[in-house]
Amino acid sequence: MDVQVRPELCFPQFSNSSCIKPTSSRTEAIILQIMLSSISLITVVLNLLVIISVSYFRQLHTPTNILLLSLAVSDFLVGLLLMPGEIIRKTACWYLGDLMCALYNYVSYIITSASVGDMVLISVDRYVAICDPLHYSSRVTEGRVKVCVCLCWLCSALYSSIIVKGDLTQPGLHNSCYGECLIVVEYIAGTVDLFITFLAPVSVIVVLYMKVFVVAVSQARAMHSHVTSVPLNLSLSIIRKSELKAARTLGVLIIVFLLCFCPYYSVSLAGDDLLSGSYASYVFFLFYLNSSLNPIIYAMFYPWFRKAVKFIITLQILQSDSCEINI
């Protein structure tokens, strides 16, 4: 006589309305949890080093680094909040309640929108630095950049509240059972979100960096043509060379950003069927992996970041006036 094995419920006390625990094997769930937890920890640690470096050392208080600081904060929050939340959603039941689910969705939209906004601001910063270098220092100041960063986060919070308004006003509205945390966006809101947080920003980023690339190539050719007979031209050439190097580094940052974000939004365009399939797990993994890659890019291309990390790890920042160290 066959014995029917009853599925294990998330909330046995609510047998009629409880979700069934994920059916993946225990080994598979453990491996996935370890992998995602490791990436989450690495993301938190690396971005925390970026935050401490730019915030602490006064020499690094430049407009471009302030933008990198804002991006590092969003990446830090991805590792601290979004990745653990995604681990729970994918490998276990959601025991935190409908309100926390709604807040998790809201925070995820804020962080994502702020990251995209930071990338646009970085593109604008490089565009002005390369295409109009003589007016860069007067147009792009620390004060203006800080205001832009604050507005970016504020607009992200307001915009995200509109996108997930239904979840915030009626938590758990779209959940079919207890122990579930779904991210559901209405068709019209999803279409608007796709345009505002992907199509429009990516278009701006691509157009600006195409112009930066054209100007950078022309300047590089001018530098190699030995047209530096006047001392002023030589000093301007050196300034442009440093700006070109920064543009190249941030260009790599933006390319990696696009490679990580495009698959997610491509799946969103393809429809819910593909998004709910197994492919979605890989898309979300790549989406969040971008936050781990950004500090690695800094370490590869920015000597100041490597030096700052060395000072932090060796606890030399505990010395008096260490914030004035030449980085």
Q: Is the pLDDT of residue 238 over 50?
A: no
Residue 119 belongs to some domain of the structure:
yes
Total-model pTM:
0.87
Question: Going by C-beta distance under 8 Å and a sequence separation of 6 or more, which residues neighbour residue 72?
Answer: 47, 50, 51, 54, 294, 295
* CATH at 227: 1.20.1070.10
Structural domains of the chain, count:
1
Does residue 231 lie in a domain region? yes
In a domain, residue 19? The reply is no
Instruction: Please report whether residue 24 resides in a domain.
Output: no
**Tokens encoding 174:** 């779209």
pLDDT of 274 > 60? The answer is no
What pLDDT does 271 receive? 54
* pLDDT for residue 111: 95
Q: Which residues span the domain enclosing 53? A: 39-319
Mean per-residue pLDDT of the chain: 82
In a domain, 268, yes or no: yes
Position 231 pLDDT exceeds 60 = no
* pLDDT one-digit tens code per residue, 80-111: 999 898 888 877 788 888 899 999 999 999 99
Contact 21, 6 (CB under 8 A): no
Q: What is the mean pLDDT of residues 185-214?
A: 85
- Asked if residue 50 is part of any domain, the answer here is yes
Alpha-carbon gap, residue 324 to 315, rounded angstroms:
15
